[in-house]
Amino acid sequence: MSNRIKNIHYGTQRQQLKNLTKKEYQALREMCFLAKNLYNVGTYNVRQHYFNQGEHLNYEANYHVCKENENYKLLNSNIAQQILKEVDSSFRSFFGLIKLAKEGKYDFRGIKSPKYLDKEGFFSIIIGQIRIKEDGILNVPMSPAFKKLYGKVSIKVPQNILEKKIKEIRIIPKHKARFFEIQYCYEIPKSEEVSNQKNALAIDLGLENLCTCVTNLGDSFIIDGKRLKSVNQWANKQNDKIESLKLKKNITAITRKQFKVWNKRNNQVKDYVNKTCFYIIDYCVKNNIGNLIVGYNAKLEKSDNMERKIYRNFIRIPFGEIKGKLEYLCKIKNINFIRQEESYTSKSDFFADDFLPDINVDNVKKYDFKGERITRGQYKSSVGIIINADVNASLNILKKSQVVNLSNLQNNPQILKQPQRVRIS
């Protein structure tokens, strides 16, 4: 693998396709239907070859079988080839798992052959050869026969995407192709700069305080989580109303209105998560911080006994997505990313150098700690100072990771600054 490939990462920008004419909408819907048909044709060929010959029919061989199919001919050749590559990718994973199972490294019972898509369903349009006109318009590639039947589909590409090197574009049908989402996959060069490995920032994730961030230098800030909580409460309330009406009318399927509610909620959450992660990474770069530690709660992730109200709040806050996004951005910016188990970090007294045991989720023990949480948001240390409770937890996550030396901060509590609340807009 060349150094250039190693230093390239990929980003994705998503947006809902709007302002389509009725003719353009019908064209995209039909293309996605043909894409589904071709996916199933390719899947059928590989499955039958495996059942009859006991081996994998690779992409090249499958292509020669499929290229005479009517669905292939109606689609643009590059789009059709990209669909067959998706089929090949699915089966490569399948055969890879079989190989691992034969070596005793995987359970055969957990392996399932890729299945056919719903015959009335749809599949994504995948554009690998990107041609955008000078005015920023993308004409969706079509075969001459299809274009003659349905006409062209023109999409205005966002200005910020035009400045990037686009690797792939996907048009994804949503809610039975009633809506379409477009995804632009583009190259992101990896940063050559290396931040100071002696500096670290730790994050405690929560609801009201989404990200409580503390550095080994005593700086701290809290990214507000009330906006996300509000979005989730609104979505849950709207969904409950719709479910109540559905129950009266004996409707079981997801309705168009329901889809719109969750689509709006998901877009708002994604936007907030992305802005939050970029803010944190930008802070690390500007302050020369080379280590980012994120706490995770093994007990919470395993527990299924939470009250419904608490569960709904937590399950709708995408903590996993935040961690994944931060890890991805850290790779681009050459920042060391660490996931740290955070048991007892909210109870342990950081400034008293309290001990920090690891939790056994199957046999949880109780411990006595030197400090105590005196209110929901305040922690009183045994050394006599009162600090933000989530800041204390973040400091203990930092301590538990053992990434940097914290003796100066522990011996000089006055270094710790009052956390600044950040509201992402």
pTM, two decimals, is: 0.80
DSSP 234: H
> What's the mean pLDDT in 247-269?
91
Q: Residue 372 pairs with which residues in a beta bridge?
A: 380
Domain boundaries, the chain: 3-189, 200-422
* Rg of the chain in Å (alpha carbons): 26
The yes-or-no verdict on residue 304 having pLDDT over 60 is no
Q: What is the pLDDT of residue 376?
A: 86
Residue 312 is encoded by which pair of tokens?
């709904």
> What's the mean pLDDT in 279-307?
79
Alpha carbon distance 371, 389 (integer Å): 11
- Average pLDDT of the residues of the chain: 91
Helix, strand counts (H, E) of the chain: 14, 15
pLDDT, one tens digit per residue, over 18-36 is 999 999 999 999 999 999 9
Q: Taking each helix axis as running N to C, give the angle between helix 59-66 and helix 22-53, from 0 to 180 degrees, rounded to the nearest 10.
A: 120
> What's the mean pLDDT in 116-144?
96
Q: What is the pLDDT of residue 6?
A: 54
Phi and psi torsions of 316, nearest 5°: -95, -5
HSE toward the beta carbon, residue 183, CA cutoff 13 A: 14
Q: What is the pLDDT of residue 311?
A: 45
First CA to last CA across the chain, in angstroms? 41
Instruction: Report yes or no: 31 and 146 within 8 Å, Cβ to Cβ.
Output: yes
Residue 312: pLDDT band by 50, 70, 90 thresholds? low
Alpha carbon distance 287, 212 (integer Å): 17
Q: What is the pLDDT of residue 8?
A: 77
Q: Residue 183 pairs with which residues in a beta bridge?
A: 14, 170
Classified as helix, coil or strand, 107 is: coil
Residue 363: pLDDT band by 50, 70, 90 thresholds? low
Instruction: Report yes or no: 40 and 33 within 8 Å, Cβ to Cβ.
Output: no
Alpha helices in 118-184 (DSSP H): 144-150, 159-162
Residue 359: pLDDT band by 50, 70, 90 thresholds? confident
Q: What is the pLDDT of residue 213?
A: 98
Q: What is the pLDDT of residue 1?
A: 39
Phi and psi torsions of 294, nearest 5°: -115, 130
Give me the torsion for CA of 50, 53, 59, 65, rounded to 10°.
-110
Q: What is the pLDDT of residue 2?
A: 40
Alpha carbon distance 216, 404 (integer Å): 7
Alpha carbon distance 44, 38 (integer Å): 10
Q: What percent of the chain has pLDDT over 70?
A: 93
Please give the full DSSP string across 308-342, using - where no structure is assigned: HHHHHHHHTS-HHHHHHHHHHHHHHTT-EEEEEE-
Angle at 154 between CA 11 and CA 27, to 5 degrees: 105
